[in-house]
Amino acid sequence: MILESLTWEELQPGMTAELRRLCTVDDFYAFAAASGNHNPVHLSDRDGDGDGRPDATAPGMFVASLISAVLGNLLPGPGTRYRAQTLEFHELVSAGDELITRITVSDKDPDGTVALATEVRRIADDKVVLSGAARVSAPPVKLRFDDVEVPGLVVQRHRHFDAMIEQAEALPDLLTAVVCPEEEQSLGGALLAAERHLIAPILIGNADKIAAIARGMGKSLAGCEVIATGSDEEAAACAVDLVNVGRAHAVMKGHLHTDALLHPMLDRARGLRIGRRFTHVFVMDVPGVEHPLLVTDAAINIAPDLATKVDIVQNAIDLALSLGIEMPKVGVLSAVETVNPAIPSSIDAALLSKMAERGQIRGGMVDGPLAMDNAVDLGAARTKGIKSAVAGRAEVLVVPGIDAGNMLAKQLAYISHAEGAGLVLGAKVPVILNSRSDSAKARLASCAVAAIHHHRSTQ
C-alpha cells in the first residue's frame, strides 16, 4: 500500500476523501480481541440482547475507527495526529453491511490543526450511521511510504464446524452405539452431543463405571440406554450387533483401543463390511481457509497400496458430497508435482488421477501428484505452471501413508489452530473416532459429520 500525506499548507476547505469497508463477523471478533470489549451483542454466536437470535452488531467504536483509517491513510494521511473527535450514532451496523466513510476539510487554524466533518454511511440504503467532527494536527512535512504492510490476522473461529453442527441439529438424533465411554472425555463428549440433539447414545460397557463417571461429572444418564458388557471386546461386538439389527445407525469410539473397536466390524460373517476397505477421514476446520479441508488416511491404513488408495479417495469424495461440496477437488499428495519413478507415491497419484478421468473413481475431480504447496495455494500452482482445476484449490488431501497423514493433521491442529472431526468410512454406518485430546468442538463436529453423512447416505 502506498501512503502519501498532505501538509497543512496543502489542505484546503472542501477537500474530501473516502474509503469503503465491508463489515464481517471476523472484523467484530478481531475488534473484541484487540479492545477487550466482549459484549455478546457484537458476536455472531451469542444472543446478546435476549431476542432469541444470535447477534452480529458492529461495536460503535469499530465503526468510529473507520474514520481514523481515512485520516491516517488519505486525508491528511501519514503523520496525522488526533486532537479531538465528536461522534453521534444514528443506525446500527451489522455484519454484511458495506459502509463508506467520508471526511471533508472544514477549516484550518494557524496552529497547524485542521477541522474536518466526518460521516459513515451504509451503502445499501444511503443512511448515515455515524456523524461527527474531528480535529487533527496535520503532518508538518510531506511524507510518502511505498511499502506499508501490517501482519495479517486470522480469527481462530471454526465457522465451518458451527455450520455443520447447526445443520445436524435440525436432523433426527443419530442412534449411536457408544463403545466403552468409561472415562470423562468419552462419556462427556457423547452426553454433550446428546444435549445438542446430534446423537441418541446407547452406552455400552461397564455399567457401574459409566454411572460412577457420570455422577462425578454431575451428569444424568436419564434417557440414555446402558448395555452392560464384561470387556472391551464384548462391547465392540455388541455395537456391531446393534447396527446389524437396525438399532444403531452409527458407532462411536470411547475409552478403548481402535484395534479393539474395529476388529468385530471386520469379521466377514457378522461384521460391517460393505465391499470397500475401512478408511479414515479427518474433516479439518482451519481458520482462514474458506472451506473444510479433508485429510485422508491418517489413522487406519499404514502404507496403502493403489487398490486401497482407490477406496480412500472414493470414501472421501462420498463424505465431501454429503457435506455439501458439489464437485470435490481431490489433491493426491507427494513430495513433487511430477511423476518420478523413484517416488512410488507420485506414480500412485498419477494412476489415481487417470482412474478418476476414466470413471473408476466417481463424484469428484482428482489430480496428482501435487506437492502440498501447489495443492492448496493457487499462487504456488501458477508459479509451477500447473494447469488444473484442482491445483491450488484442493478440498480433499490424500496423503501417501499414515505417517504423512498423522503429521499433516497434527500440524494443522497444533500450529494452524484447526479443529478436526474424525470418521471411519467404508462400513455399513459411520464410525466416530475421537482422540482423548480432542476438544468439545471437535467431538460435537465428529457427531455432526456422522449425522449429516448418514442422512445423505440414506436418502
For every residue of 405-455, which 3-state class applies, written as one string?
A: HHHHHHHHHHCCCCEEEEEEECECCCEECCCCCCCHHHHHHHHHHHHHHHH
Amino acid at 73: N
- Give dist(CA 136, CA 104) in Å, integer: 12
- Give dist(CA 43, CA 26) in Å, integer: 9
- Give dist(CA 444, CA 161) in Å, integer: 9
Q: What is the pLDDT of residues 4-22, one digit of tens each?
A: 999 999 999 999 999 999 9
User: What letters, b where the CB count within 10 A reaches 16 and e where it falls short, cover 9-40?
Assistant: eebeeebebebebebbbbbbbbbbeeeeeeee
- Partner residues linked to 280 by β-bridges: 424
> Per-residue pLDDT averaged across 266-291, rounded?
92
> Per-residue pLDDT averaged across 202-227, rounded?
94
Q: Is CATH 2.10.109.10 the right assignment for the domain spanning 3-145?
A: no
What confidence category does residue 437 fall into, taking pLDDT thresholds of 50, 70 and 90? Answer: confident
Q: What is the pLDDT of residue 288?
A: 80
Q: What is the pLDDT of residue 46?
A: 65
**267 neighbors 274 (Cβ within 8 angstroms):** no
Q: What is the pLDDT of residues 309-318, one digit of tens each?
A: 999 999 999 9
Q: What percent of the chain has pLDDT over 70?
A: 96
Q: Where are the domains of the chain?
A: 3-145, 157-274, 277-426
> Per-residue pLDDT averaged across 83-97, rounded?
94
Mean pLDDT for the chain overall: 92
For every residue of 116-139, which 3-state class applies, written as one string?
A: EEEEEEECCCCEEEEEEEEEEECC
Q: What percent of the chain has pLDDT over 90?
A: 80
> Per-residue pLDDT averaged across 134-151, rounded?
87
Q: What is the pLDDT of residues 327-337, one digit of tens each?
A: 999 999 999 99
Q: What is the DSSP letter of 333?
A: E
Q: Which residues have a Cβ under 8 Å from the Cβ of 432 and sit 6 or more positions away?
A: 176, 250, 251, 252, 253, 422, 423, 446, 447, 450
How do beta strands 174-179 and 199-205 pair?
A: parallel
**255 neighbors 184 (Cβ within 8 angstroms):** no
Q: What is the pLDDT of residues 405-432, one digit of tens each?
A: 999 999 999 998 899 999 999 999 999 9
pLDDT at 153 over 90: no
Q: What is the pLDDT of residues 349-373, one digit of tens each?
A: 999 999 999 999 999 999 999 999 9
Q: Is CATH 3.30.465.10 the right assignment for the domain spanning 277-426?
A: no
User: Exposed, middle or buried by CB within 10 Å (0-12, 13-18, 19+), for 207?
Assistant: middle
What confidence category does residue 42 fall into, taking pLDDT thresholds of 50, 70 and 90? Answer: confident
For 157-274, the fitting CATH number among 3.40.50.150, 2.30.30.40, 1.10.287.1260, 3.40.50.10950 is: 3.40.50.10950
What confidence category does residue 49 fall into, taking pLDDT thresholds of 50, 70 and 90? Answer: low
Q: What is the pLDDT of residues 250-260, one digit of tens each?
A: 999 999 999 99
Q: What is the CA radius of gyration of the chain?
A: 28
